[in-house]
Chain A
Amino acid sequence: MIESPVLERVLSHALRHGGEFAEVFAEDRSTSSALLDDGRVEELSSGRERGAGLRVVSGETTGFAHTADLSEEGLLRAAEAASAVARSGGGGTRTMAVGPLVAGDGPGVGRRPADRSLGSKADTLDLLTRADDAARSTGGAITQVQAGCGTSRRQVLIANSEGLLARDEQARTRFTVSCVATGDTGLQTGFESAARTLGFELFDEISVEELAGLAANRALSKLSARPAPSGELPVVLAGGSGGILFHEACGHGLEADHIVKDASVYTGRVGQQVASPLVTLVDDGTVGSEWGTYAVDDEGRPAQRNVLIDEGVLTDYLWDYLRARKEGRVSSGNGRRQTYQHLPMVRMTNTFLLPGEEEADEIVAQTPNGVYVAKLGGGQVNTTTGDFVFGTTEAYLIEGGKITEPLRDANLIGNGPEILKRIDAVATDFAMTPGTCGKDGQSVPVGCGQATLRLTGVTIGGTAE
């Protein structure tokens, strides 16, 4: 995208008023999406965006400017703007050298562009139509289907004043199905998605008919649902039901930007027992083609496997360049940004609980009464207090050790450090789920994973007294 001598001159220019660190992040991103709704292909959309974000760090201050102009002149102008924060600094001319290249071609990630086919528009429409047919074939009560397919291809180039030069190419594909079922009790909804860091190879691995069937049946099952209970009950979360529990209950609270500002309940707790001994929690950006996988992060640091909680004991936080530098350590490969127009910050990748040893159906059988959550939607956390919510999109009562009646959607609420201690059983049926994580106005793709597990008690926010 940009030649090394140009990068060197731009980085040098960025530090000519002073400052300790400068970085160029260049990105070229193409996206396409197709939407079938109400039985019609309503919209095909294509987008293209390229540009660079320039960052200068001077003391505790970061200057940032971005530009869609990737010419040397455009980059120099952005460097000048970003360097404004260092105007009172020492300055002077510094000679830069970047490289050798840290290329994003990690094993097993399928990153060589030749491997990645982006499907044709006709292929995409075929997939959407098949999903629509499959969803509607589940029954006449399915009154609306929306199927969407989105692909993105993103090339990034990162160079900084410490000599780093890194490149990665990321292809992502996501397929979603949303259904509405209509019955005597009104409307109910069902959603299912599949998303990987892959091109159209995604469709070698998943069946859109199966996905559509899951979404449709989720909506249908809730037509006869009764209101969710109100109050505290044992909860069994199905394997792959979302994993969002860990993302919210502790994942965000372990991001170093919250830690260094003392804005997390987990500040100062490394080495302490913060969860049940059954909890070993990992954040790993290198896992196969999962949705949160990449070769290098948006600061050029290779993704890595980070054990956050080991048998209940907090072992480490997640780090980006800036927060790691402050603590005199290296980044854990978790510096991410939505686009070149955003500053990087600490983000999760694929965050998951390692599987346990019990059988999933045994866990249900040994739960006299409670709630079985087959699928979770989103969640939200206040990292400072640790209070978090997560919503069900498919849940059932457990009565006498058996899964019985379907329940309407509700949020569950808990406090991270308390809930993590209430995990008393973990099964072997591990599965990952894709999601979109929002933080400070930036969205990035993440994975969440977990096997079937039981919480001894969680507050369920239903309406049944």
Chain B
Amino acid sequence: MSTAVDSGPAVSGPGADELLAVADRVAGWAGSGEEVEVYVARGEETEVRAYDGEVESLTSATSAGIGVRVVVDHRLGFAWAGSLDDAVLAETLDEARDNATFATADEHVQLASPDGVAAVAVDLWDEALASVPTADKVDLALALEAQARGADDRIRQVSSADYGDASVEVALVSTTGIRASSRKTSGYLSVGVIAGDGDASQTGGGFSVGRGFDGLDPDRATTDAVGRAVRLLGATKGSSARSTVVFDRRVASTLLAVVSSALSGEAVAKGRSFFAGRVGERVGDPGVTLVDDPTDPRAYGAAAYDAEGLACRRNVLIDVGVLRGFLYDTVSASRAGVSSTGSAVRGGFAGTPGPGCRALTLAPGSEGYDEEGVLAAVGEGLFVQSMTGVHSGVNPISGDFSVGAEGLMIRDGRLAEPVREITVASTLQRMLQSLVAVGADLEWLPGIAAGQTLAVGDMQISGT
């Protein structure tokens, strides 16, 4: 297999200034009595998948698109297109305009206007990424695969070994005075392994993420993946019990992300959150202090501006167990009679903004525990290293919580025998009240929440 490749097609794309110029131009087409917001994005990505000593696939791509929101008489319309051709831009604006005529007039519907909050500059751009030859990326993916395959005699298969990077530039302009641009690069290594012992197989995954190519760490990804798979070998179906559960950092990050959807100001306004109407009340153990702070440059989801072009800011959601507030975009804030918290997020140019978290963390417990510390403090229980069925078994509206789990029993404060094919259940409300420990082992993971080892009491485990 050849690894002598160049960096793909020479596409002369617009830089941030040119994207702003495109957005300015479309916003300039706004008619009287019309508010227009134009979101323009352009991205480039490379992905290399290695398998069995060869490159399984190599993808290189660029993409660009536009999303336009039009508000007329408090009616909102939206349209998007995966192209920045002039004819397409005009069509997209027309389509958004037409869509607006069908919406229900709603006094709260409006575009964001500048609120005077200064953006905190966060540097999310790795200048070096663009000049890394594709051959180096291919070599890194191959090295990752080889390393995982050779890491332990019990590794039977490396089911995936991927290198990926992306760069995205965004410009946002509105007739209501918003004009912002941002850019961001990212890189990752991800590996999935299968460990075997006799007839039994177990899987584990690991990754390393960064702002670019430099600093990606195949050792870290491999050690994590192999360790997770190997320690599950010999796992049997666990038994039913009422128990304390310790969630691995990665799992805990997913848990926080689920809780965060109940903290959306929109969900609250529409009666779709178990937190609705509870501001000022105790909703969790005093050990629960939950903050969303996208201005922390270490956070994977760090950003200077939100998806409506307002400055991102630090928002305290739960303070010492007491619910302090929610996350708002412009419309949900108006509905609630408050100001936007700069928390609009959107899924690229084809999505419309809505409130959401970017960089959620729990304040670490005063004990300063790492994973071992939490395990020792808990003594007896279950350590969960992976969860399944989060989308089918966790309901952020009712709070019902039931997920598939695999992991290891905790005995005498240490990890003991592996277990699989069990479920762990409670309600999100009860879990917040039953928090036993928050680790100080904070790790920024891909996604909207940091990873910290968490221990939650009084959970129902279902098995044999």
Do A and B assemble together? yes
Min Cβ gap A100→B in Å is: 30
Q: Is A429 an interface residue (CB 8 A)?
A: no
In Å, the complex CA distance between A459 and B422 comes to: 8
Instruction: Across the interface, name the chain B residue whose C-beta is closest to A230.
Output: B462
Q: Which of A75-83, A106-114, A346-354, A447-455 contacts B (4 or more CB under 8 A)?
A: A75-83
B269 cross-chain contacts in A, Cβ below 8 A? 38
Q: Is B251 an interface residue (CB 8 A)?
A: no
A232 cross-chain contacts in B, Cβ below 8 A? 464
Is the Cβ of A389 less than 8 Å from the Cβ of B274?
A: no
B464 cross-chain contacts in A, Cβ below 8 A? 232, 459
A122-B102 contact, Cβ under 8 Å, with A186-B398, A378-B389: yes
- The 8 A CB mask of B88-130 against A (1 = contact, 0 = none) is 1001100110111011101000000000000000000000000
In Å, the complex CA distance between A189 and B425 comes to: 18
- The 8 A CB mask of A189-207 against B (1 = contact, 0 = none) is 1000000000000000000
In Å, the complex CA distance between A153 and B460 comes to: 46
Q: Is B216 an interface residue (CB 8 A)?
A: no
A59 cross-chain contacts in B, Cβ below 8 A? 1, 54
A356 cross-chain contacts in B, Cβ below 8 A? none
- Give chain A interface residues in 265-315, CB to chain B under 8 Å: 265
- The 8 A CB mask of A136-171 against B (1 = contact, 0 = none) is 000000011000000000000000000000000000
A88-B271 contact, Cβ under 8 Å, with A51-B82, A343-B57, A463-B426: no
A182 cross-chain contacts in B, Cβ below 8 A? 271
In Å, the complex CA distance between A376 and B10 comes to: 49
A377 cross-chain contacts in B, Cβ below 8 A? 391-392
Q: Is A46 an interface residue (CB 8 A)?
A: yes
Q: Is B8 an interface residue (CB 8 A)?
A: yes
B77, B156, B202: the one within 8 Å of A262 (CB) = B156
Q: Is B147 an interface residue (CB 8 A)?
A: no
Most buried by A among B98, B104, B271: B104
Is the Cβ of B58 less than 8 Å from the Cβ of A62?
A: yes
B52, B103, B402, B427: the one within 8 Å of A391 (CB) = B402
Is the Cβ of A460 less than 8 Å from the Cβ of B51?
A: no
Q: Is B242 an interface residue (CB 8 A)?
A: yes
Min Cβ gap A292→B in Å is: 19
Q: Is A184 an interface residue (CB 8 A)?
A: no
Is the Cβ of B2 less than 8 Å from the Cβ of A68?
A: no
Q: Is B352 an interface residue (CB 8 A)?
A: yes
A265, A384, A411: the one within 8 Å of B393 (CB) = A411
Interface of A is mostly: strand
- Give chain B interface residues in 418-444, CB to chain A under 8 Å: 420-427
Min Cβ gap A135→B in Å is: 14
Q: Is A11 an interface residue (CB 8 A)?
A: no
In Å, the complex CA distance between A350 and B8 comes to: 38
Is the Cβ of B422 less than 8 Å from the Cβ of A389?
A: no
Is the Cβ of A144 less than 8 Å from the Cβ of B57?
A: no
A382-B352 contact, Cβ under 8 Å, with A46-B95, A413-B422: no
Q: Is A380 an interface residue (CB 8 A)?
A: yes
Min Cβ gap B388→A in Å is: 4
B4, B65, B106: the one within 8 Å of A40 (CB) = B106
Min Cβ gap B422→A in Å is: 7
Which interface class (under 10, 10 to 19, 20 to 34, 35 or more) fits B?
35 or more
In Å, the complex CA distance between A464 and B423 comes to: 13
Q: Is B312 an interface residue (CB 8 A)?
A: no
A261-B81 contact, Cβ under 8 Å, with A43-B103, A380-B392, A461-B393: no
Is the Cβ of A385 less than 8 Å from the Cβ of B9?
A: no
A68-B63 contact, Cβ under 8 Å, with A47-B80, A461-B393: yes
Most buried by B among A65, A84, A222, A411: A411
Is the Cβ of A463 less than 8 Å from the Cβ of B460?
A: yes
B136 cross-chain contacts in A, Cβ below 8 A? none
Min Cβ gap B81→A in Å is: 5
A47, A263, A341: the one within 8 Å of B81 (CB) = A47
Q: Is B83 an interface residue (CB 8 A)?
A: yes
B64, B272, B393: the one within 8 Å of A187 (CB) = B272
Q: Is A239 an interface residue (CB 8 A)?
A: no
In Å, the complex CA distance between A277 and B102 comes to: 54
Q: Is A398 an interface residue (CB 8 A)?
A: no
Q: Is A408 an interface residue (CB 8 A)?
A: yes
B1, B76, B159, B423: the one within 8 Å of A413 (CB) = B423
A-B contact pairs, 24 of them (CB 8 A): A41-B103, A42-B104, A46-B80, A46-B99, A59-B54, A66-B59, A67-B9, A86-B2, A88-B1, A89-B2, A187-B274, A222-B398, A263-B159, A343-B59, A376-B392, A384-B201, A389-B423, A390-B389, A409-B395, A409-B402, A459-B422, A459-B464, A460-B423, A463-B460
The 4 closest A-B pairs by CB, nearest first: A461-B423, A391-B392, A389-B389, A49-B82
B-binding residues in A (CB < 8 A): 34, 37-38, 40-51, 58-68, 77-78, 80-81, 84-89, 121-122, 125, 143-144, 180, 182, 186-189, 222, 228, 230-232, 261-263, 265, 341, 343, 376-382, 384-385, 387-391, 408-415, 459-465
A-binding residues in B (CB < 8 A): 1-2, 4-6, 8-11, 51-52, 54-65, 76-83, 88, 91-92, 95-96, 98-100, 102-104, 106, 134, 156-157, 159, 194, 201-203, 237, 240, 242, 269-272, 274, 350, 352, 388-389, 391-393, 395, 397-400, 402-404, 406, 420-427, 460-464
Further pairs besides A40-B103, A64-B60, A180-B272: 17, Cβ < 8 Å: A46-B80, A48-B81, A62-B56, A63-B59, A65-B60, A66-B59, A67-B9, A77-B11, A85-B55, A87-B2, A188-B397, A377-B391, A379-B392, A384-B159, A391-B402, A414-B421, A415-B421
